[in-house]
Structure 1
Amino acid sequence: MFGEVGVAQQYYSVDQVAELLGLHVKTVRAYVREGRLAATRIGKQYRIHRKDLTEFTGGDPEQDETGNGGPRAEVSTVMQVEEVDRTMADRISTLITSATTGASGSGTPAQSQVVYDPERSRLRVVLVGGLEETSRMLDFVRALVGEDHA
């Protein structure tokens, strides 16, 4: 689709990355501005190196175009855990962070954001990823929260 057939492209535009990942262009730009996705600014445009895109996605960015094909599903979920102390919030955060960085399953790589509000004793977890990876992380949190209330 991008570049010559059989030749791996080394740099991608924000539009190309958005298309490859099935994201909105504004989302990719936000990832770049937040530092989540490394990019080089050339004039008024960003260019993302293949190595940085592979590191960000956890796999070959063009795999779905040249590989197995077929339908893909991605889950976005926001979980809120009430009445949680700092220790439990840290345990959940560590578990989620390690699960997302270590996720190398065959599905979409998972990403997470965990925010603890000590004034309200509330933990909010945002998960984005493949069905299997996201379900696995929800099971982890369920086990921890259930362990606390047993």
Structure 2
Amino acid sequence: MIRRYGEAVKPGQSYRRRPGVYAILLRGDDILLTHQAEPDDEFQLPGGGIDPGENPLPALHREVMEETGWHITGAQRFGAFRRFCYMPDYGFWAEKLCTVYVARPTLRMGPPGEPGHSAHWMPAYEALGLLGNAGDRAMLAQVLMRRQAPR
């Protein structure tokens, strides 16, 4: 069973399943996030929906490039969560199945190509208080705890 974060399921509301991929992009103690100005002003893990017929890893690379302008390497699946929300850009309620990867940003190609997005480096622990959804915060917290654990 995949853990749910955020809003509870609304009785009687139909939800469209929306699989997506998201990246935790660390460089030392810093993380690369995307900031989306609209429809909600929030910081997010870069990523998004997997297009029909698209495989998860190519989708991850595409989404990170669109939202940050960076190439990535070494993507490793870390975990998954789901959340139920309204997606105003698409006009429907969704059950978002969010698969999170940890990867390394390798080369900045330019600014984000996705309208309304900007890329931001910040201390990873600061990002915990800024990420806009509980699932993103939980995944980042788990990654940071594992990095601190003695080996």
**TM-score class, shorter:** under 0.3
TM-score (ref. length: structure 1): 0.25
Bigger proportion of residues as helix: 1
Q: Which has the larger radius of gyration?
A: 1
Q: Which has the higher contact order (CA 8 A, sep 6+)?
A: 2
TM-score (ref. length: structure 2): 0.25
Bigger proportion of residues as strand: 2
